Structure 1
Amino acid sequence: MVFYGKATNGRTGAAICVLLFAMLLAGCGSRPGPETLTTVAPPPGSKFVKIFVATNRAREEPDANIFTSNKAQSLNFAEFTIAVPPDHRAGRVEVAGIAGQSGFVVVGQRVLTSASFMDAIRRFEGGKGRQDVTVFVHGFNNSFQESLFRLAQVTADSGIDTPQVLFAWPSQARVSGYVADKEAVTFSRDYLAALLVGLAADANVRRIRLAGHSMGAWLTIETLRSLRLARRDDVIRRTEVALAAPDIDVEVFAQQLKVIGPLTPPMKILVAADDRALRASRLLSSSVARVGAIDVKDPRVQEAVAQARVQVIDISQLSSTDGLGHDRFVYLAGLYPKLAQQPALSNAGVFLLDAAGSLVTAPLQSTLLSGGAD
């Protein structure tokens, strides 16, 4: 079982420089600084979103929710209430104060312990009994506040009203920090596993919806692999998994899936063959194809998907705001109500979404679309 990518005619320094320059330009937009974590009054007409945080980033101060890129030796916990501006556009994270625009702001926060973190999740929205909990694992080159506001945006756009947990690992938040970030996600595996084990042990948590983006997808899969090897099948059985633009070597991924095995429901993988950020990652990784950029029209990919019993969704027709085609997943949040009504998306197989986010069966009409392998 191998997930194939398009062939590359070697690696050139010029190509790497061009793509890295494109990534730098894409990141030149306004990025929220630590000051955006200061609690302020909400603008009139705001929508409010609560985000819980579990992170192995170190706190700047013991009693403050400012998190650095340094590694902590134990999980830190927090709770934020975010105000989403009334003029918010789906898929975007508006930064307050830029060009006079309103933006995402923090209107409430608490420092939590492990015990108060779990208690806050149980009491979410007045305590509605057993409910699903989403855990989002951000990707490469993300500051803490960027990942916090991104999850707030996805939550607001989707309308989901269950607890949302950000697992924030210690990214350097720099394009030049790619290697350091890879080391940081390796460091973070046991911390994410501890979070999942804790959630799964709570009788009030029905299902864990685990989503990883980009390099965070690698962290997600490595954590699942370690849980399977540790025979924590009880945790994996209660976990649904989605990977967006996974920055994972295709051959490594195949080996990881052999250990993890098929999941119920099938693991979801969002891909786009024209993802320029993953193209840069490929060039930096000796031209080894990345899972998030596989070509779903390749018969070998379709065969591999059937064997692995996973669900691959091509989202290359969706819009992107980062100039690289790497953040298309954020637009799926607004499409969640429509996609949730698609029975086919409970099956393994290969699917395509059109620019409006509607499911397209052609040209991939095959047994894959009706459930994949036996």
Structure 2
Amino acid sequence: MKSALSGRSPARRLTLAVLCLVSVQLLCACAGRPGPETLSSVTLDDFKPDRVETLYSVTTRGRTEPGKNIFGVEKTREPNYARFDVSIPPNHKPANIEWPKRKTVDPRTDFAVVSQSVLDRAGLLGAVRAPKAPTPVVFVHGYNYNFQEALYRLAQLTTDSNVDGLPIVFSWPSYAALPAYVADKESATYSRDALANLLADLVTARKGEVDVFAHSMGGWLTVEALRQLKLEGRTDVLNRLRVIMAAPDIDADVFTAQLDVIGRMRIPIVILVAADDRALQVSSLLGAGTQRIGALNVRDRVVADAAKKAGVTIIDISSLESVDATNHNRFFDVKQLASTLSKPAASASLGDAGAFVFDAAARTVSSPFALAAKVLRRR
């Protein structure tokens, strides 16, 4: 692919990539984007939801109005903090967000904010330090997200995974627009110090481990934050982080250079990949055909050997049914992933560096090379 694009001018490559992005979006047949009205608190009256998720947000987006939890694309020098209680409707289906189909939000059928508050840094850390507070789980969203999409996606992931944790969305100022890929990359990079500082704060306040789950361009931002922590000498923070990245939009050579600085993590970084990820194929076009980490082929021995050498765990999740035509959002089906990855055998694999395959039907994680050897022995 790289050689096929090498003769094209940067302008033609950009035009081709934008056209591909639009084509992918049309394939998905996406509905209109949720607006800030979905963040308004609703009254429950006599309705009692079965489940309410308490979520925290840390964002480098500016508030559109002082004292209100409505966030735009303006960058802030200091992060803004908030808390939301989001109710889950009884008709909720795994991997889905039940957005309101009308201008008003109905908690009987829709995800809904039932209460919220403006916080500061001390307020967030107070919640982390609270007695019996669960492990913080930081979600870093990807390209083309607005704030409310990131918040509700975290609500969906939290309720579907049924994992005990203190969910925190780190939202950077994505423009939530298809042509804004380059601008989003700059906004993500702008936010790396804020994310690094948040992770350091959480580890210090928690005095224990912190989970980080990053998607797509959020993976780029997360690895940049890890690199920043290493350059600051904060190995005490790095040693307490459990990092999972889904479909990370990172150039393979850049990722190798980042890992050269970060070094081997005490807990290996877990990377969820799929070679048929169409969104990352488009990203590759923007990068003149460069390999993206989230689209690696784990059945390639070179990839497996490189993963072992770098001390990372790469898991192919392409057996999960795709939720849209991009094949970029399989991690939405976190219910299957969480139930499988929490099994003792899978947990042992996650502690090892190398390449593995997630089998959605069998609910197992195994080495593709061990499986191939087993098949050959049967012949």
TM score, norm. by length of structure 2: 0.89
Report the Cα distance in structure 1 between the residues aligned to 2:3 and 2:53, rounded to whole angstroms: 43
Which of residues 66, 80, 85 is equivalent to 1:81? 85
Q: Match of 2:212, as an amino acid?
A: L
Q: 1:132-182: CA deviations, max 9, x gaps?
A: 211111000000000000000000001122211110000000011101101
Q: Does 1:113 align with 2:120?
A: yes
More divergent stretch after superposition (177-186 vs 193-202): 193-202
Q: Hey, what does 2:376 align to over in structure 1?
A: none
Which of residues 132, 136, 142 is equivalent to 1:128? 132
CA RMSD between the two structures: 2.2
Q: 1:241-263: CA deviations, max 9, x gaps?
A: 11110000000000111111111
Task: Kindly indicate whether the alpha-carbon contact (under 8 Å) linking 2:49 and 2:87 is maintained by their aligned counterparts in 1.
Answer: no
Report the Cα distance in structure 2 between the residues aligned to 1:190 and 1:118, rounded to whole angstroms: 18
Q: 1:24-75: CA deviations, max 9, x gaps?
A: 3236323211000000034544411011111110001121000011101101
Q: Hey, what does 2:361 align to over in structure 1?
A: 356
* 1:321–1:307 CA distance, 2 compared to 1 (3 A): same
Q: After the TM superposition, list the runs of 4 or more consecutive aligned residues in structure 1 that deviate by more than 6 angstroms.
A: none
Report the Cα distance in structure 1 between the residues aligned to 2:161 and 2:187, rounded to whole angstroms: 30
More divergent stretch after superposition (98-107 vs 304-313): 98-107
Task: Kindly indicate whether the alpha-carbon contact (under 8 Å) linking 1:23 and 1:175 is maintained by their aligned counterparts in 2.
Answer: no
Q: Hey, what does 1:233 align to over in structure 2?
A: 235
Per chain length, whose mean CA-contact separation is higher, i.e. which structure has more relative contact order (CA < 8 Å, sep 6+)?
A: 1
Q: Does 1:173 align with 2:176?
A: yes
* 1:317–1:334 CA distance, 2 compared to 1 (3 A): closer
Give structure 2 stretches of 5+ with no counterpart: 372-379
Report the Cα distance in structure 2 between the residues aligned to 1:87 and 1:76, rounded to whole angstroms: 33
Report % sequence identity: 42
Report the Cα distance in structure 1 between the residues aligned to 2:89 and 2:120, rounded to whole angstroms: 30
Report the Cα distance in structure 2 between the residues aligned to 1:183 and 1:291, rounded to whole angstroms: 19
Q: Match of 2:305, as an amino acid?
A: E
Aligned residues: 357
Report the Cα distance in structure 1 between the residues aligned to 2:336 and 2:363, rounded to whole angstroms: 12
* 1:144–1:27 CA distance, 2 compared to 1 (3 A): farther
Q: Hey, what does 2:56 align to over in structure 1?
A: 52
Task: Kindly indicate whether the alpha-carbon contact (under 8 Å) linking 1:90 and 1:334 is maintained by their aligned counterparts in 2.
Answer: no
Q: Hey, what does 1:335 align to over in structure 2?
A: 337
Report the Cα distance in structure 1 between the residues aligned to 2:96 and 2:102, rounded to whole angstroms: 14
* 1:113–1:264 CA distance, 2 compared to 1 (3 A): same
Report the Cα distance in structure 2 between the residues aligned to 1:340 and 1:75, rounded to whole angstroms: 33
* 1:334–1:87 CA distance, 2 compared to 1 (3 A): farther
Q: Hey, what does 1:243 align to over in structure 2?
A: 245
Q: Hey, what does 1:371 align to over in structure 2?
A: none
Q: Match of 1:21, as an amino acid?
A: V
Report the Cα distance in structure 1 between the residues aligned to 2:86 and 2:313, rounded to whole angstroms: 32
Give structure 1 stretches of 5+ with no counterpart: 1-5, 367-374
